[in-house]
Each structure stands twice: as C-alpha cells, then as structure tokens.
Amino acid sequence: MIADELGRADDVERVLIDEKVIEKRLDAMAEEIDREFPSGPILAIVLLKGAFVFAADLLRRIPRPLDIECLNVSSYHGGTESSGVVKFLDHSLPDVKGRHVLVLDDILDTGRTLKAVTDRLLLEGCAAVHTGVLLAKDRPRAEDVQADYVGFEIGDEFVVGYGLDYRGRYRNLPFVGVLKS
Ligand code: PRP
C-alpha cells in the first residue's frame, strides 16, 4: 500500500522501510528468537503504544507457547524529542518473578525507555530481560543499553508508521516512513 492510498501523501516525504521488507525481516527475527530463547513459554511484554503493531506481527510468527502482557510507558508525549523522563502509566506491573521476559519496543532511540523498563522488571524479580526492537537509531544513547534483537538500524531521523506516531497519528501506516519537515 502506498501513502497516496491512505490519504497521507501530503504528509509523508518518503517510505523508509516498506511492508514487504518488514515482513521478511520479522520472519527471520521470529526464527532467531525461537532458536535462542530458553525453552518453555516466553513471557512477552509489549511496550505501548508504539510496539503494538510490531509485536502483533512478530509474536504470531513464533511457534511456541507465549504469555503476553503490555506495559504503557511514555516519554515523548507525541512529539519528536524525548522528555527525558519515562513514565509508567499502569497501576500495576505484570507478575514477572523468575521469568525470562522478552520486552518488545518499536524503536530504540535515546535508550531511556528500554533502560527504565529493564531496570524495573529486574527489580520486580524477573530472571532475565531480553529485548527486541523493530528499529534502532544510529545515534549516541543517553543510557548504556542495546537490544538483543534488532529489526533494522536506521539513521537519526524522525520516523512514523507501523506503530510509531507523530502527535498520535500515523501509527496505522503499514510502512515506516519519514514525514515532511
Ligand atoms: C517512544 C517509542 C519507544 C521510545 C523510544 O515511545 O515507542 O517506546 O519512545 O525512545 P527512547 O529510546 O528515547 O526512550 P513514546 O514515549 O513516544 O510513547 P508511545 O510508544 O506511546 O508513542
């Protein structure tokens, strides 16, 4: 599907990663996770809102029992710059005690979100935190963190689509794209 069909042609400057390329990469990521993850059910923790599209498509490709939980965290508040503070918006956290968890996020940018979530889950007593992101920006991180599974390395530019938003919009684009400035 192209930007025109979604009525977004005026906003999207270019498609960075198209739907077919994402699908192919997710096949490989799912296979890698299934091969490397400790045996037994995986506890996947999906970071909302951005990771919901990526997680839905990735987790359906993993052929083993899965427990799926979501965590609602936010630091960009719809804009293009991190506020620097990662807010946990849920009243309680899932029970992760003794579990190997797979945290899924749409993008690794400053690293604050993955670091805050990882630290919090370890405090809650999980056995280990494994992390997977669709996108990792090639830029210095504010936190010393990296993802175990990365879909695509991208340049340091603001992207939308496939779950990622600008002011709450564009999450439903089926590709990752760059907005006009
Ligand atoms: C975005 C994105 C990641 C995080 C990555 O979340 O979904 O969770 O920022 O950036 P970081 O590496 O600099 O922490 P956002 O705060 O925009 O919330 P959202 O997922 O609800 O859009």
Query: Which one of the listed residues 57, 105, 106, 109 is annotated catalytic?
Result: 109
Model confidence over 43-56: pLDDT tens digits?
999 999 999 999 99
- CB of 109 closer than 6 A to ligand 1? yes
Best of 76, 104, 154 to mutate for ligand 1, by most ligand atoms within 8 A of CB? 76
| CATH number for position 156 | 3.40.50.2020
Tell me if 158 is assigned to some domain.
Answer: yes
Model confidence over 90-139: pLDDT tens digits?
989 999 999 999 999 999 999 999 999 999 999 999 999 999 999 999 99
Tell me if 81 is assigned to some domain.
Answer: no
Tell me if 59 is assigned to some domain.
Answer: yes
Tell me if 30 is assigned to some domain.
Answer: yes
Range of the domain at 147: 3-75+95-179
Q: By the 8 A CB rule, do 136 and 153 touch?
A: yes
The structural domain count of the chain equals 1
Tell me if 87 is assigned to some domain.
Answer: no
- pLDDT, residue 59, reads 98
Q: Model pTM?
A: 0.94
Cα 24 to ligand 1 centre (Å):
24
Tell me if 85 is assigned to some domain.
Answer: no
- CB of 145 closer than 6 A to ligand 1? no
Active site residue 109: yes
Question: Phi, psi at residue 171, to the nearest 5°?
Answer: -60, -25
